Chain A
Amino acid sequence: MNNEEVLHEQPLVVHDLGHSAHEHHHKQSFITKYIFSQDHKMVSKQFLITGIIWAVIGGLFSVIFRLQLGYPDQTFPFLEDILGRWAKGGRLDTEFYYALVTMHGTILVFFVLTAGLSGTFANFLIPLQIGARDMAAPFLNMLSYWFFFAASVLMFSSLFLQTGPASGGWTIYPPLSALRDAMDGSKTGMDMWLASMALFIVSQLLAGLNYITTVLNLRTKGMYMTRMPLTIWGLFFTAVLGVLSFPVLLSAVILLLFDRHLGTSFYLSDIVIQGKILPNEGGSPILFQHLFWFLGHPEVYIIALPAMGIASEVISTNSRKPIFGYMAMVGSFFAIAILSFMVWAHHMFVTGMNPFLGSFFVLLTLLIAVPSAIKVFNWLTTLWKGNIHFTPAMLFAIGFVSLFISGGLTGIWLGNSTLDLHLHDTYFVIAHFHLVMGVASMFGMFAGIYHWFPKMFGRLMNNTLAYIHFWVTIVGAYLIFWPMHYEGLAGMPRRYYDYSNWESFKMFGGLNEFISVVAAIVFFTQFLFIFNFFYSIFKGRKLTEKNKNPWKSNTLEWTTPIHPGHGNWVGEIPEVHRWPYDYGKDGRDFIPQTEPIGADESSHAGQ
Chain B
Amino acid sequence: METALAQTKTKMWTGGKSPFNVSYGKLMMWYFLMSDSFTFGAFLISYGSIRFSLNHWVDHNYVFNKFPFTEANLPLAFVSLMTFILIFSSVTMVLAVHQGHKMSQKGVEKWLILTILGGLAFLGCQAWEWTHLITHQHDVLVDGVLQHWGTTVSHNPWGPEVMFNGQLVATPGPVAFGGYFFGITGFHGFHVFTGVVINSIMLVKTKLGTFQKRGHYEMIEKAGLYWHFVDLVWVFVFLCFYLI
| Complex A-B, nearest 3 residue pairs according to Cβ-Cβ distance, in ascending order | A221-B16, A264-B179, A251-B42
Asked whether A214 lies within 8 Å of B42 as measured between CB atoms, the reply is no
Q: List 25 A–B pairs whose Cβ atoms lie within 8 Å, in order of A's numbering.
A: A10-B214, A208-B35, A214-B24, A217-B19, A217-B27, A218-B24, A221-B15, A225-B13, A243-B35, A244-B38, A247-B36, A250-B39, A251-B42, A251-B43, A255-B43, A255-B183, A263-B153, A264-B179, A265-B154, A266-B176, A266-B179, A281-B175, A284-B49, A291-B42, A294-B42
Q: A255-B46, A258-B179 are in contact. Are A224 and B15 (CB under 8 A)?
A: yes
With A217-B23, A279-B175 known, 20 other A-B pairs at CB within 8 A are A1-B23, A217-B27, A218-B24, A247-B38, A251-B42, A258-B153, A258-B183, A262-B154, A264-B175, A264-B178, A265-B175, A265-B176, A266-B50, A266-B176, A282-B175, A282-B176, A283-B50, A284-B49, A290-B49, A291-B46
Residues of A within 8 A of B42 (CB): 247-248, 251-252, 291, 294
Whole-angstrom CA separation of A214 from B28 in the bound complex: 9
Provide the B20-39 mask, 1 if CB < 8 A to any CB of A, else 0.
Answer: 10011101100110111011
Which single residue of chain B is at the shortest CB-CB distance from A288? B46
A213 close to chain B: CB less than 8 A:
yes
Instruction: Tell me the residues in window 1-25 of chain A with beta carbons closer than 8 Å to chain B beta carbons.
Output: 1-2, 10
Which single residue of chain A is at the shortest CB-CB distance from B14? A224
A222 close to chain B: CB less than 8 A:
yes
B53 close to chain A: CB less than 8 A:
yes
Instruction: Tell me the residues in window 180-212 of chain B with beta carbons closer than 8 Å to chain A beta carbons.
Output: 180, 183, 187
Residues of B within 8 A of A219 (CB): 15-16
Asked whether A266 lies within 8 Å of B46 as measured between CB atoms, the reply is yes
Of B16, B28, B153, B178, which one neighbours A210 at CB under 8 angstroms?
A: B28
Asked whether B43 lies within 8 Å of A205 as measured between CB atoms, the reply is no
Taking the closest CB of chain B, its distance from the CB of A582, in whole angstroms, is 18
Which single residue of chain B is at the shortest CB-CB distance from A210? B28
Residues of A within 8 A of B36 (CB): 247
Residues of B within 8 A of A218 (CB): 24
Asked whether B28 lies within 8 Å of A248 as measured between CB atoms, the reply is no
A99 close to chain B: CB less than 8 A:
no
Whole-angstrom CA separation of A483 from B215 in the bound complex: 67
A382 close to chain B: CB less than 8 A:
no
Of B17, B20, B28, which one neighbours A137 at CB under 8 angstroms?
A: B28
Number of A positions contacting B (CB below 8 A): 55
Taking the closest CB of chain A, its distance from the CB of B45, in whole angstroms, is 9
Instruction: Tell me the residues in window 31-82 of chain B with beta carbons closer than 8 Å to chain A beta carbons.
Output: 31-32, 34-36, 38-39, 41-43, 46, 49-50, 53-54
B18 close to chain A: CB less than 8 A:
yes
Taking the closest CB of chain B, its distance from the CB of A247, in whole angstroms, is 4
A44 close to chain B: CB less than 8 A:
no
Residues of A within 8 A of B27 (CB): 212-213, 216-217
Residues of B within 8 A of A290 (CB): 49
Q: A254-B187, A266-B176 are in contact. Are A243 and B24 (CB under 8 A)?
A: no
A131 close to chain B: CB less than 8 A:
yes
Taking the closest CB of chain B, its distance from the CB of A324, in whole angstroms, is 24
Of B15, B46, B49, which one neighbours A222 at CB under 8 angstroms?
A: B15
Taking the closest CB of chain B, its distance from the CB of A566, in whole angstroms, is 18
B118 close to chain A: CB less than 8 A:
no
Asked whether A287 lies within 8 Å of B49 as measured between CB atoms, the reply is yes
Asked whether B24 lies within 8 Å of A213 as measured between CB atoms, the reply is yes
Asked whether A247 lies within 8 Å of B39 as measured between CB atoms, the reply is yes
Residues of A within 8 A of B14 (CB): 221-224
B174 close to chain A: CB less than 8 A:
yes
Residues of B within 8 A of A2 (CB): 17
Whole-angstrom CA separation of A421 from B23 in the bound complex: 51
Q: A217-B18, A255-B46 are in contact. Are A283 and B176 (CB under 8 A)?
A: yes
Number of B positions contacting A (CB below 8 A): 39
Whole-angstrom CA separation of A282 from B188 in the bound complex: 23
Whole-angstrom CA separation of A294 from B42 in the bound complex: 10
Provide the A232-270 mask, 1 if CB < 8 A to any CB of B, else 0.
Answer: 000000000001111110111011001000111110000
Residues of B within 8 A of A263 (CB): 153-154
Whole-angstrom CA separation of A287 from B24 in the bound complex: 36
Asked whether B175 lies within 8 Å of A137 as measured between CB atoms, the reply is no
Asked whether B16 lies within 8 Å of A1 as measured between CB atoms, the reply is no
A416 close to chain B: CB less than 8 A:
no
Residues of A within 8 A of B31 (CB): 209, 212-213, 243
Pick the most buried of B23, B36, B42, B178: most chain A CB atoms within 10 A of its CB. Answer: B42
Whole-angstrom CA separation of A250 from B183 in the bound complex: 13
Whole-angstrom CA separation of A87 from B187 in the bound complex: 43
Tally inter-chain residue pairs, CB-CB below 8 A.
133
A220 close to chain B: CB less than 8 A:
yes
Whole-angstrom CA separation of A217 from B19 in the bound complex: 7
Of B28, B39, B183, which one neighbours A213 at CB under 8 angstroms?
A: B28
Provide the B158-178 mask, 1 if CB < 8 A to any CB of A, else 0.
Answer: 000000000000000011101
A188 close to chain B: CB less than 8 A:
no
Whole-angstrom CA separation of A248 from B39 in the bound complex: 5
Whole-angstrom CA separation of A245 from B42 in the bound complex: 10
Which single residue of chain B is at the shortest CB-CB distance from A573? B16
Residues of B within 8 A of A246 (CB): 35
Instruction: Tell me the residues in window 1-23 of chain B with beta carbons closer than 8 Å to chain A beta carbons.
Output: 13-20, 23
Residues of B within 8 A of A264 (CB): 153-154, 175, 178-179, 183
Whole-angstrom CA separation of A222 from B50 in the bound complex: 52
A518 close to chain B: CB less than 8 A:
no
Taking the closest CB of chain B, its distance from the CB of A130, in whole angstroms, is 8
Whole-angstrom CA separation of A131 from B17 in the bound complex: 12
Whole-angstrom CA separation of A217 from B26 in the bound complex: 11
Residues of A within 8 A of B183 (CB): 254-255, 258, 264, 266
Whole-angstrom CA separation of A212 from B176 in the bound complex: 38
Taking the closest CB of chain A, its distance from the CB of B39, in whole angstroms, is 4
Taking the closest CB of chain B, its distance from the CB of A246, in whole angstroms, is 7
Which single residue of chain A is at the shortest CB-CB distance from B29? A209
Taking the closest CB of chain B, its distance from the CB of A294, in whole angstroms, is 7
Of A222, A245, A248, which one neighbours B16 at CB under 8 angstroms?
A: A222
Q: A255-B183, A262-B153, A266-B46 are in contact. Are A243 and B34 (CB under 8 A)?
A: yes
Asked whether A209 lies within 8 Å of B15 as measured between CB atoms, the reply is no
Residues of A within 8 A of B28 (CB): 136-137, 140, 209-210, 212-213
Residues of A within 8 A of B50 (CB): 266, 282-284, 287
Asked whether A265 lies within 8 Å of B179 as measured between CB atoms, the reply is yes
Which single residue of chain A is at the shortest CB-CB distance from B38? A247
Of B15, B18, B54, which one neighbours A576 at CB under 8 angstroms?
A: B15
Of B35, B154, B175, which one neighbours A205 at CB under 8 angstroms?
A: B35
A280 close to chain B: CB less than 8 A:
yes
Whole-angstrom CA separation of A223 from B19 in the bound complex: 12
Whole-angstrom CA separation of A217 from B17 in the bound complex: 6
Whole-angstrom CA separation of A243 from B14 in the bound complex: 25
Taking the closest CB of chain B, its distance from the CB of A235, in whole angstroms, is 15
Taking the closest CB of chain B, its distance from the CB of A553, in whole angstroms, is 19
Residues of B within 8 A of A254 (CB): 183, 187
Which single residue of chain B is at the shortest CB-CB distance from A130? B15
Whole-angstrom CA separation of A476 from B73 in the bound complex: 74
Taking the closest CB of chain B, its distance from the CB of A174, in whole angstroms, is 13
Taking the closest CB of chain B, its distance from the CB of A152, in whole angstroms, is 22
Taking the closest CB of chain B, its distance from the CB of A366, in whole angstroms, is 25
Whole-angstrom CA separation of A282 from B153 in the bound complex: 13
Taking the closest CB of chain B, its distance from the CB of A141, in whole angstroms, is 11
Which single residue of chain B is at the shortest CB-CB distance from A221? B16
Residues of A within 8 A of B25 (CB): 1, 137
Which single residue of chain A is at the shortest CB-CB distance from B26? A213
Taking the closest CB of chain A, its distance from the CB of B221, in whole angstroms, is 13
Asked whether A244 lies within 8 Å of B35 as measured between CB atoms, the reply is yes
Residues of A within 8 A of B174 (CB): 281-282
